[in-house]
Structure 1
Amino acid sequence: MIQRAFLSVSDRTGLLALAERLSRRGVELVASSGTAAHLQAAGIPATDVEALTGYPPLLGGRLKTLHPAVHGAILARPDDPVHRAELEGHGIRPFQLVVVNLYPFREALERSRDLAAWVEEIDVGGVALIRAAAKNHAHVLVVVDPADYPAVIEALEGEADEAAWAELRRRFAVKAFRRTAFYDALIARALAHAYGLEALPDVWVAAYERVAALRYGENPHQEAAYYRDPLAGPEALVRFVQHQGKALSYNNIQDAQAALALVRRFEAPAAVAVKHMNPCGAGVGETVEEAFERAYAADPVSIFGGIVAVNRPLSAALADRLKGLFLEVIVAPSAEPEALRILAAKKNVRVLTLPEEGGVRPAAFSRTAPDRFGALVPEAVTTSGGLLVQTPDAGDDDPAAFRVVTRRAPTEAEWRALRFAWEVVRFVKSNAIVLAREGMTVGIGAGQMSRVGAVKIAVQAAGERARGAVMASDAFFPMPDSIEVAAAAGVTAVIHPGGSIRDDEVIAAADRAGMAMVVTGVRHFRH
């Protein structure tokens, strides 16, 4: 089946074993200069590509394999008489196997920010070889991953029939095109970052690699997998270290991301509890332990089976407190060794922390989640036959732009509570209402079809704690009824974007109740 093979690899993992098996079965090996030297040094016969092309590597090695003697041998259809005649006329013999992996562009990104170094690791000849072989996969087997070498060896030594070889060629051709697409998308993104080009281009390209196959998606009948953006920085959830517990589920990952996004918004020690991608409690304090107690007290029922995230190292004291709760995931920048020992008794709870750098455990999260190059990664949502892409809602609002629109201005304590509630409400599903006081949420209304319905839920959850609390709304109030419900419950101050055609009526309702109202001019609606 295979009489002649072309090999050109940067990653030499497993190469000698494959080449030795091919050579033993009488397969002629032709290789690019570096690969040929590697094989020859191991005593495996290999012809340097220079012998085919008649040219040494040119332009400092940029040009080695782009030649008809190579590509004609890959692209030719042996069942086409015109192709056969042209090959014979030029003394070219076809290849049936092409083994190529690409210059380590991704590793260059990992090593440095040197644009010139990146450019030198953009493979040209390798991509051309892969595409040529994959295009002609009816006759040529292309192998781009060392992990697939055993499958080739098995087919060789098992005397696979033509049907088995054809299936292997089809499968590896698809993998090859995915690999070059991934490679090109990675290059496009890295260069766009380097040159400061538009975040939302006319053609969207994305490069993601699978981290894990998940047991199922949101429901057991849905298949799911977890993919990683290679440019994701160390503070991206996909790069966190899992210390214990069973594998994360699809829903665990979504909830952990929601918790992480909210808790990293706070400079002070903070804790949040999340259920179904909505915070059920959030708190700040002098210590992370105090912050957690406030988050827990906000809704001690809904936290059951939830996700907890803190923005300071997980202490032994906090771990001792958490071990008595049923939690799915705990997220922290780092964890004290004793905290991990304590939680090890809860074998099903997953503990996630940032990776250590230089042996140092991170002390806090940054306020945003940049990718490796310091830019925020756009958010994408699939639709039927399409993709919606937007820049993330991750910036800071300017408090100087906030306007007091009622006769009464907030007190200093109300201002602190309003700013806290405003940070939390942007992470609650709309229509979103948050009641807060003294560094903690006391009532949250999420995902309702009407805003007044969300207010009623938040007020009911708060109970007596609504009296003296403040209220945040992610979007404007369409009419005064929400203010009237909040006022009746004892809410004293409100913050919202404003912009309704009935703003005057809403403000008048707040004035009648003696409430303070602040308009931000910025909406944080979250579908």
Structure 2
Amino acid sequence: FVALSDECDAQTASFLKREVSDGIIAPSYSPEALEILKSKRKGTYLILQMDPSYEPEEFERKQVFGVTFEQKRNDVKITEDCLKDIATKNHDLPESAKRDLLIALITLKYTQSNSVCYTKDGQAIGIGAGQQSRVHCTRLAGTKADNWFLRQSPQVLNLPFKPEVRRPDRDNAIDVYIGEEWEDLLETDDWKRVFTEKPPVFTREEKKAWLKKETGVSLGSDAFFPFGDNIERAHKSGVTYVAQTGGSIRDDNVIETADKYNMTMAMTHIRLFHH
């Protein structure tokens, strides 16, 4: 489902027309954009207009089997003030990293906890959500970030796709090609369905070599990191900048691990749990 903070114009609508989604919500739509979106999904595409002046209630309530739970709405403001307390020896935090860390924190504010988010170049590239362990969040999101970077490798960009293959089929083929189950595609006749010729195997060694080139990734966590193992895993996916709550009894271990890799880590002192 697509959510926009500004008016949906014709250029945005044209981009969305070929993307998979069930609906959109935006403050307003240009006449041209409306006409384009009305033709999506054979006229069943859901188009909603938000009220930018709407203010939700201060408290949220949920009833489960006769028990009513109540909590204050998470109205914390995600600004650069969240990044002022840098705990590591490295204090370097360029504007691009600030942007990416803020995007990660905003994403986490609305993502099911526990959650961790990797960002790069102004976009989320890996989200690990709803896990019982924070390091599992970090691993899950890191694997997604790795896949994002692997898709930009020469081995993937040069895959010999047949011109008639649709985008979803291309994406699915790439996902299998870069994954651990590549045999399902290359060791059967299935490759003939999407490729003009059989591509070479993208070996584990080649993947590792390519992933080592990834740097400058930002990582946000919706609560504190309890141990340095999260930072160890983040480093494998090119993380250079970190924003986390802080306040763990093992903060010293987490900071020491970040210093080992010359990372810049900010303590936000805010929890972004969403349940």
Q: TM-score, normalised by structure 1?
A: 0.38
The one-letter amino acid of 1:386's match is: V
In the alignment, is the contact (CA less than 8 A) between 2:60 and 2:72 conserved in 1?
A: yes
Tell me: CA distance 1:379–1:351, structure 2 relative to 1, closer, same or farther (3 Å).
Answer: same
Counterpart of 1:352? 48
Q: Could you tell me how far 1:410 is from its partner in structure 2?
A: 3.4
Distance 1:427 1:354 in 2: 18
* Partner residue of 1:370 out of 55, 63, 66: 55
* Partner residue of 2:90 out of 377, 401, 408: 408
Distance 1:488 1:344 in 2: 44
Q: Could you tell me how far 1:416 is from its partner in structure 2?
A: 2.3
Q: Could you tell me how far 1:389 is from its partner in structure 2?
A: 1.1
Distance 1:395 1:382 in 2: 24
Matched, 1:330 2:24: yes
Secondary structure (helix, strand or coil) at the match of 1:404 reads coil
Structure 2 unaligned residues grouped into runs of 5+: 150-213
Q: Could you tell me how far 1:398 is from its partner in structure 2?
A: 6.2
Equivalent positions of 1:228-239 (< 5 A) are: none
Distance 2:267 2:20 in 1: 39
The one-letter amino acid of 1:348's match is: T
The one-letter amino acid of 2:23's match is: V
- 1:25-58 per-residue CA deviation (whole Å, 9 max, x = no partner) reads xxxxxxxxxxxxxxxxxxxxxxxxxxxxxxxxxx
Counterpart of 2:63? 382
What percent identity do the matched residue pairs reach? 35
Distance 2:230 2:63 in 1: 34
Counterpart of 2:265? 517
In the alignment, is the contact (CA less than 8 A) between 2:7 and 2:26 conserved in 1?
A: yes
Q: Could you tell me how far 1:342 is from its partner in structure 2?
A: 1.2
Q: Could you tell me how far 1:420 is from its partner in structure 2?
A: 2.1
The one-letter amino acid of 2:88's match is: T
Counterpart of 2:108? 425
Secondary structure (helix, strand or coil) at the match of 1:470 reads strand
Counterpart of 1:193? none
Q: Could you tell me how far 1:520 is from its partner in structure 2?
A: 0.9
The one-letter amino acid of 2:18's match is: G
Counterpart of 2:175? none
- 1:423-451 per-residue CA deviation (whole Å, 9 max, x = no partner) reads 21111111111111221111111111111
What is the root-mean-square deviation of aligned Cα atoms in Å?
A: 1.8
Q: TM-score, normalised by structure 2?
A: 0.70
* Partner residue of 2:75 out of 377, 383, 394: 394
The one-letter amino acid of 2:19's match is: L
In the alignment, is the contact (CA less than 8 A) between 1:455 and 1:482 conserved in 2?
A: yes
Distance 1:449 1:502 in 2: 19
Distance 2:8 2:80 in 1: 31
Tell me: CA distance 1:400–1:462, structure 2 relative to 1, closer, same or farther (3 Å).
Answer: closer
Counterpart of 2:129? 446
Distance 2:240 2:10 in 1: 38
- 1:262-321 per-residue CA deviation (whole Å, 9 max, x = no partner) reads xxxxxxxxxxxxxxxxxxxxxxxxxxxxxxxxxxxxxxxxxxxxx011111111111111
May I ask how many residue pairs the two structures share in their alignment? 206
Distance 1:389 1:482 in 2: 32
Structure 1 unaligned residues grouped into runs of 5+: 1-306, 356-364
In the alignment, is the contact (CA less than 8 A) between 1:445 and 1:458 conserved in 2?
A: yes
The one-letter amino acid of 1:407's match is: K
- 1:393-417 per-residue CA deviation (whole Å, 9 max, x = no partner) reads 0131564464100000132222222
Matched, 1:483 2:168: no
The one-letter amino acid of 2:266's match is: V
After alignment, is 418-427 or 459-468 more displaced? 459-468
In the alignment, is the contact (CA less than 8 A) between 1:403 and 1:520 conserved in 2?
A: yes
Q: Could you tell me how far 1:514 is from its partner in structure 2?
A: 0.8
In the alignment, is the contact (CA less than 8 A) between 1:406 and 1:510 conserved in 2?
A: yes
Distance 1:338 1:398 in 2: 35
In the alignment, is the contact (CA less than 8 A) between 2:145 and 2:237 conserved in 1?
A: no
Distance 1:398 1:330 in 2: 26
Counterpart of 1:497? 245
Q: Could you tell me how far 1:495 is from its partner in structure 2?
A: 0.3
Distance 2:92 2:106 in 1: 17
The one-letter amino acid of 1:432's match is: S
Which structure has the higher relative contact order (CA within 8 Å, separation 6+)?
A: 2
In the alignment, is the contact (CA less than 8 A) between 2:78 and 2:105 conserved in 1?
A: no
Distance 2:241 2:50 in 1: 38
* Partner residue of 2:2 out of 301, 308, 321: 308
Tell me: CA distance 1:432–1:513, structure 2 relative to 1, closer, same or farther (3 Å).
Answer: same
Distance 1:383 1:523 in 2: 24
In the alignment, is the contact (CA less than 8 A) between 1:410 and 1:517 conserved in 2?
A: no
In the alignment, is the contact (CA less than 8 A) between 2:114 and 2:133 conserved in 1?
A: yes
